[in-house]
Each structure stands twice: as C-alpha cells, then as structure tokens.
Amino acid sequence: MPLIAVGLNHRTAPVELRERLAVADSEVASTLGDLRALDGVEGVCLVSTCNRVEAIVSTHREDVLESLVGWFAKRVPAERSEIEKHVYVLRHGDVVKHLFRVASGLDSMIVGEPQIGGQIRAAFQASREGGTLGSLLSQVFDHTMRVARRVRTETGIGEHAVSVPYAAVELAKKIFGDLDGLRVLLIGADQIRAGIEALALAVAELALARGEARPVRLAH
C-alpha cells in the first residue's frame, strides 16, 4: 500500500500561511475524520506544529494526492495554484525517510531541537486513538520512534540544550551582553512557550504579544 505525504514547513511557506493551516488540539479529532473521509484514504496522520503542517496517508490510489492538496487549499482558504507553490509531496520510501529526519530533529529550524520527537509521537497517537491510523502507518510510527531514539542516544545531536528559545537567548547575550535589567517583548510564542523559561530568568521583565491582543506579562 503506497504512502503519500503532503505538507509545508518553515522552508517552503511563510509563517502567515502556516498559521492559517495550523490545527489546534481541539480540532485534531474532527480534522483527522475529515481527512480519513477523503476518497481513497486508508489511514491518515496529521502533524501540525508551529513550523510544519503535514498529512501522511496510506492509500491504494495515487489520485488521492489531488484531494489532499484540495484540502490544504480549502482550509487556508486560498486558490489551489497558490497552495501548490508552497507544498511538497513525498511518496513511498521518501515518506518514511522524511519522518525519520523530522522525528530525529534533523529537519527542524534549529537542528537537533528535542520537542519535535514528542510532537510526532503525539500526532501518531492521536490518529491511533481516533481509529484513523491504519496498520501500515502504525508500523511506520513504531519504526519512526525507534529510529528517533537511536539517533538521540547513539549520536551527539542531543548533547546540548537546543531550541528556538535557547538560540534566541544565546543570540541576545551576544548582542547585549548581560541581560539582567532588560525588558523584553516576545511576539508570538505559541508552541515554543514552554521553552522560554531561560529568557524569563535572564531578564527583568518579559511580556508576550499575540496578534492584536494587549501584551501579557509573563515574568517580572
């Protein structure tokens, strides 16, 4: 049974488009149901993070690709031709290789960041619990997590704390030196919010601004 993945990420699409496609936790179950209902889809997993949105499906039909791209266009919403400028399509073995790279942190904005492994695990578990995963994708999931664990334990990729917030703090230190006494406005934390503790501890005041809402003080 063939595997097909359709997605976009931080390399192929601007953040504005990724935000419009992002699927909130409360929407995951219904969205998986919508994708599973597409003609030709046998099993489906949806990966939605701040840096990527990907639909991975098992199918007996190559033409399911048209339905998947159409789903992306409808969700934005945008013309299909506009979405096609930003999505990538992977097939069969390339899907498996891609999942290995993503879950291991090799395809992240900050190479080696550890959060993505948990995000991939959560995505597959949501599909499994919702009954949309199917036997083939279930095997792919188990193999993907085994590979990710080996990469983490048998290479040096996880030796240092690596994340977008961590990189931001280190860059700020290089620019400003001692951060003590500074006031910082953090714009658009979303899924990296859990990683901003280092910044909160390093500065005098930290506030979060999201969209048009008033900034919320996170630390003082």
Active site residues: 50
Q: How far apart are CA 167 and CA 13, in angstroms?
A: 22
Q: What angle do the packed helices 134-154 and 93-103 form, to 10 degrees? A: 40
Q: How far apart are CA 102 and CA 15, in angstroms?
A: 18
